[in-house]
Amino acid sequence: MKLVQAAGLAPALLSPRRLSAYRRWSLWALLIALVAALLVTLVWLAGRYEASQVQSKLERDTADALSDIRSALTRNVQLLQALQAAHPNRSAWNAEVARLLREHREWVRIEWRNSELETVAFVDSPLRAPVFERLGRANAHADVVLACANGRRVSGPAYSSSYFVPQLDGLGLEVMELCLPQVTAGKLNGYLVATYSLSEILAGLVGPQLMRSQEISFTEADGTRLALHGAARRGTRVFTSQQLLDLPGNTMVLRMDSWRGAPDLFPNVLTALVTAMSIALVSVLVLLGKDMRRRLRAEQDLADALAFRKAMEDSLVTGLRARDLQGRITYVNPAFCQMVGFSPEELLGNTAPAPYWPPELAGEYQKRQEVRLTAGQAPPREGYESVFMRKDGSRFPVLIIEAPLINHHGVQTGWMSAFLDISEQRRVEELSRASQERLQATARLATIGEMASLLSHELNQPLAAISSYATGSINLLKSQMAVHATTGSEVDAAPDIVQAMRRIAEQAERAGKVIKSVHDFVRRRDKEREPVRPEALLEAIMPLVSLQARKLGVRVETRLKHGLPAVVCDRTMVEQVLLNLARNAMQAMDQAHLTAPSVLIEVRRAGGAPGAQGAPGKNWLEFSVADVGPGIPEEVKQRLFTPFFTTKEEGMGLGLSLCRTVVEQHGGFLAYEPNRPQGTIFKFTLPVE
């Protein structure tokens, strides 16, 4: 029961698409079945028609053969009658009969018998051995008697029924007697008896054209075959026609068999025509089927393409909008709806002002749209930026790329626009700008710090000198005053000078303390150390480096192995070192006007000895900045790290010395070497965590 229900439900469960395919295929199957049935019927009918044609021809042939035999027999009777009348004496009769027998194969023997049926004369056919040699003529007497009795009764020719006569060669032949009573003036004179061979009747008396493709035979009513003549059997299909040959005293069946070539595919023109038409019909059907399959496939492809387009539209993050030439919105994709927060229904068909235009900018946008629609002026290819409003009123920046919408006839039907929400991009830009500013500020701070520290270092000595000169002067003045006091000379101004000198010494000391505290303050950064991954260091400087590299047309490459350990450093200061080295490298190449300037920044583990100051037992990373510039001339080398030494017009000459200070504060060391084939490599090491 359940099964039956399931089977009943199955078509209902099919999808509409499969259902229609199912219906279509069943219609096709029905059509093909009908056409096949029609064709089979047609071919069968044509075959039958052809068979009936053959059959009726055979009937006609049989009738022809029958009338041939009849008229020949009648002619023979007339010959015999004439023979008896014309040749009353025996020798003439004998000669004439012999001539007749030679001409008529169907006769095997002709006898002249008297009224008592005794043989007066006889002649056997010269064309064969005497027929009654083996059997003896007496054995056939009964048949002769019967035939002659019949003949006498009807006063005309009469035939006996046929009988078999065995021959000397072991074969035999079926013969039949004709008895012709001889009556003159109402008195019976005797009989003329002619013996017919049945097979020779068939062979001699039937037109040869009738026997070319047929087999002709005499049979008894029950079908027993008496004599046979005709073509050998060919093919399988047999057509038979039978007709009665009723002779006075004997009745036999004349039967004709005809064969048809067995596997005759096109028996006649009609069948051939029908077959050809059938083939044509089937071919048309096949072609139609193929065409339909192609259409189905095209339909399927189209459906797939549509589905793909829809999926693509739905998954796109770019907003798409189409407008007609009147400015009406004709299409929006899901991404656009999501961007502005309006549903497609709220947007489609809308004209200016669009619901996503901020009211304060609507006037400007309206003007822009009018220019586009009336003048047909295309917007810039790279797009333009604008501000849209979400449904909740919040504003966001968008990048709009607009292009004319051209249909397949090549006519413009509107405008197609793509929208990118660039708020996130803006945020990132803002962030990177802030970080750049921070880096630049730090760079300035670091330079100032270095300058302050150098200044303090440089100023400490003069200050100390001032202070000691002041102290010396005070001491001198004091001893002078003591001498004057003992001599009593005038030294009124001296205490004031001493006072002033003391003030100078005090101030010099104070300046020294201030400078020391500045120095200490600058050096205090040492403490702010943390583990930093080398990748992070490079990432931090890359925006600034690339900025300058773009300006100077330099290719910058970074190379570092994955999984390098973190280094312990003051992150900002080390970034500063890297930046300084990279900037120096780019500037050096810029001055030399190279064709393919490039900088390679590389980080790797420092092998074994990281340098003179590398503490043993510690791991080091080596940072290197290599350029392909002109290298460092000998005279510059001497003063490379000297503060305020520079070869550039706007240079400060502090970069390298700052770098060295920073690296050495970390316990590492900074060095340089020539690059191969040209340029310079600056290297420094930092301790691993």
What are the residues binding ligand ADP (CB under 6 A)?
Answer: 584-585, 588, 627, 629, 632, 636, 640, 645-648, 651-653, 655-656, 680
Amino acid at the residue 29:
A
Q: Are 672 and 660 in contact (CB under 8 A)?
A: no
Q: Which is nearer to ligand ADP, 231 or 632 (by Cβ)? A: 632
**Angstrom distances, CA of residue 20 to CA of 5, 16, 286:** 22, 6, 21
User: What is the CA angle 664-648-680, rounded to 5?
Assistant: 55
d(CA 320, CA 313): 9
Q: How far is the CB of 655 from ligand ADP (least distance, A)?
A: 3
d(CA 473, CA 467): 10
d(CA 80, CA 97): 9
Q: Which is nearer to ligand ADP, 92 or 640 (by Cβ)? A: 640
Q: How far is the CB of 599 from ligand ADP (least distance, A)?
A: 9
Q: How far is the CB of 663 from ligand ADP (least distance, A)?
A: 13
Q: Which is nearer to ligand ADP, 521 or 644 (by Cβ)? A: 644
Q: How far is the CB of 545 from ligand ADP (least distance, A)?
A: 14
Q: Which is nearer to ligand ADP, 474 or 599 (by Cβ)? A: 599
Q: How far is the CB of 461 from ligand ADP (least distance, A)?
A: 23
Q: How far is the CB of 650 from ligand ADP (least distance, A)?
A: 8
d(CA 528, CA 115): 169
Looking at the chain, the number of H-run helices and the number of E-run strands are 15, 22
Q: Are 662 and 576 in contact (CB under 8 A)?
A: yes
Q: How far is the CB of 648 from ligand ADP (least distance, A)?
A: 5
Q: Which is nearer to ligand ADP, 130 or 653 (by Cβ)? A: 653
Q: How far is the CB of 321 from ligand ADP (least distance, A)?
A: 53
Q: How far is the CB of 644 from ligand ADP (least distance, A)?
A: 9
d(CA 107, CA 177): 10
Tokens of 507: 């101030």
Q: How far is the CB of 683 from ligand ADP (least distance, A)?
A: 12
CB atoms within 10 A of CB 341: 16
Q: How far is the CB of 472 from ligand ADP (least distance, A)?
A: 38
Q: Are 621 and 534 in contact (CB under 8 A)?
A: yes
Beta strands in 151-284 (DSSP E): 158-159, 163-166, 172-184, 187-197, 214-219, 225-230, 237-247, 250-260
Q: Which is nearer to ligand ADP, 272 or 547 (by Cβ)? A: 547
Q: How far is the CB of 514 from ligand ADP (least distance, A)?
A: 27
Q: Which is nearer to ligand ADP, 278 or 646 (by Cβ)? A: 646
> Across the chain, which distance is largest between two alpha carbons, in Å?
235
Q: Which is nearer to ligand ADP, 264 or 557 (by Cβ)? A: 557
Q: Are 557 and 680 in contact (CB under 8 A)?
A: no
Strand partners, 113: 119, 191
Look up tokens 């990281």; give the residue.
Answer: 610
Please return the burial class of 221, using the count of CB atoms within 10 Å of its CB with bins 0-12, 13-18 and 19+. Answer: exposed
Q: Which is nearer to ligand ADP, 104 or 683 (by Cβ)? A: 683
* Exposure letters 80-106 (e unless 16+ CB within 10 A, then b): beebbeebeeeeebbebbeebbeebbb
User: Which residue's C-beta sits nearest to ligand ADP?
Assistant: 655
d(CA 607, CA 92): 154
Q: Which is nearer to ligand ADP, 598 or 647 (by Cβ)? A: 647
Q: Which is nearer to ligand ADP, 190 or 655 (by Cβ)? A: 655
* Exposure letters 448-483 (e unless 16+ CB within 10 A, then b): ebbbbbbebeebeeebeebbeebbebbeebeeeeee
Q: Which is nearer to ligand ADP, 247 or 443 (by Cβ)? A: 443
